[in-house]
Amino acid sequence: MTFGLANRKLYPKVARRHGEGDKSHLTTLEGLAALSLDALSSVAYGPEAIMVTLVAAGAGAITAALPITLVIVGLLGVLVVSYCQVIAVHPDGGGSYAVAKKDLGTKVSLLAAAGLVVDYVLTVAVSLAAGAASLASAFPVLAHHSLAVCLGGLALLTAVNLWGIADSARLLMLPMALFVVSVLGIVVVGLSRSAPAATVGTPESFHVTEALGLLLLLKAFSAGCSALTGIEAIANAVPMFRKPRIRRAQHTELLLGVLLAALLIGLTLVIHRHHVVPRQGVTVLAQLTAGAYGTGWAYYATSLVVTLALGLAANTSFGGLPVLMSLLARDNRLPHLFALRAERPVHRYGVLALALLSCALLIAVNADTQRLIPLFAVGVFVGFTISQTGLVRHWATLRPAGWVPRALVNGVGAVLTAVAAVVLLTTKFLAGAWFVALTVPLLMLLFSRTQRYYTLAGTELGLGRMPAAPARSSSLVIVPLGEVDAVAERAVTAALSLGDEVVAVAVFSDQAEAAAMRADWARWNPGVRLDVVESPLHSLVHPVLGYVEQAGRDGRQVAVLIPQVEPGHRRFRILQNQRGILLAGVLSARTDVVVCLLPYRLNL
């Protein structure tokens, strides 16, 4: 009946810290939905990336896709085991950043943080652009509106994540389940068929431009490793899980590894069985869908599910980057506002920053997936290499029981991911990887400069030192007024309780108005001196500023109490002048006095 304007409960709602309540934290399945769609949905373009690279040696080179996929799955296993160890060693989250900060030093930790930030932003952009492209493939009328579709999806994801990560996780459980079931159905039905049920797309001819040698295999391996992006997000967001956090996060990581391995191997087997090659106008996954289900309703339904999953894969970054930014803020490497949390366990400034950066990137490339894909895998493998190298250092330093096999697993993973990162950077440099090579050092410089500022500010503020005993001094409270009314009575009463001496100041440009004010003040006689300042230029702020500066020259503590009329309803506030707020801002910026705003609330 009150349209949502009824009074809420009177007790204050204080934001819980991680661990003070489980309602808004993630279960294993919710964590899989909220933090794993990026990795799972990468099967839509990972196998295709391998094939597009291999066809440089002709259509027959596609047979090498299966062994390359098996090597990638082996690397996936190493990474999953490694990140389960990261979760146990660093339960506060942060992934490769936390590992590097503890075991590899300041510069490497800055590199890891910069790589993760770039990766998270690019993950949002790539996922939304790929989802829009998939939707346009099924509905060509949307082909010229991909950017609008991306920005709409980004706005929706931002709103959901500002509401709360657990709530967004529940929303994502159904799309994730539909995607996994749909792709597993493609694998099972596709392998059971002796020939594809239907074919889609326009055939292409492939001219041999490169021999099927070691370099091409490395290129295909590095391109296919784009399917591994996102598996580190769970380790970055451990604080989002319910207790016991470590065990739940590890179970989620293992479940993600099993599902992703099954999907990658299954799709590659179908590609191998039906001799699928890239075709113009459709994705490889769309070809596999048509080969399994035909071109009826199941084909369109699966295409829509894949599009939805690709779009929602961006939610992985919304779960991981705000937590990482809060850790950087706690380490004085980003502004401290990124460490602030809302009533729900949401770092809203981090969510908004991610949304704005992703929006700018999508607009810059006009939501073109092909311009984004060469960018976003480099930072991922830099993070992989750093986290596993750091764990090798960790095991070698502590040497717990059974540390040698763990260090060996992490060392092998570090070598493989380092090779992938180098090959990606060199082969894709001119295609856009230069942007990452430029952005990462700039972010590192930003982090170090921010930390330097906080260090210098802490020194100047005397942090860590015992301050001198406070000294009492006489005080003066200045009250700017315009009329003798209820506002003046409230302001003078408050001022008398705050300081030793109170003086009211009125600014007039008209002599008659000034005389009337003096007469009203004399009749009221509140026991407080009134000083009238003339302002021929009809200005309020600068005359009061000059008066305050003059009053503070004798060394007294000066406070300015500014009454501000506030209507009860927001729609009336524009009708009230905002000179008090303007005056407060100027006084805060130009003087060292204490500035107080005293609200006088109307019932209107």
pLDDT single digits (tens) 435-445: 888 888 999 99
SS3 content of the chain, % helix, strand, coil (to 5): 70, 5, 25
Q: What is the pLDDT of residue 324?
A: 82
Phi, psi for 223 (deg, rounded to 5): -65, -40
- 104 pLDDT tier (thresholds 50, 70, 90): confident
d(CA 317, CA 494): 49
Cβ count within 10 A of residue 400: 8
Q: What is the mean pLDDT of the chain?
A: 82
Please report, rounded to a whole number, the percentage of residues in the chain having pLDDT higher than 90: 11
DSSP states of 511-550 as a string? HHHHHHHHHHHHHH--SSEEEEEE-TT--SHHHHHHHHHH
Q: Record the pTM.
A: 0.73
Q: What is the pLDDT of residue 23?
A: 52
Residue from 598, 601, 40, 127 nearest 362 by CA:
127
Helices (H), 237-314: 245-274, 284-293, 297-312
d(CA 53, CA 222): 10
pLDDT single digits (tens) 207-224: 777 778 888 888 788 778
The residue type found at 184 is L
Q: Which of 12-16, 346-350, 377-381, 542-546 has the lowest mean pLDDT?
A: 12-16
24: tokens are 């808004």
pLDDT at 277 over 90: no
pLDDT at 124 over 70: yes
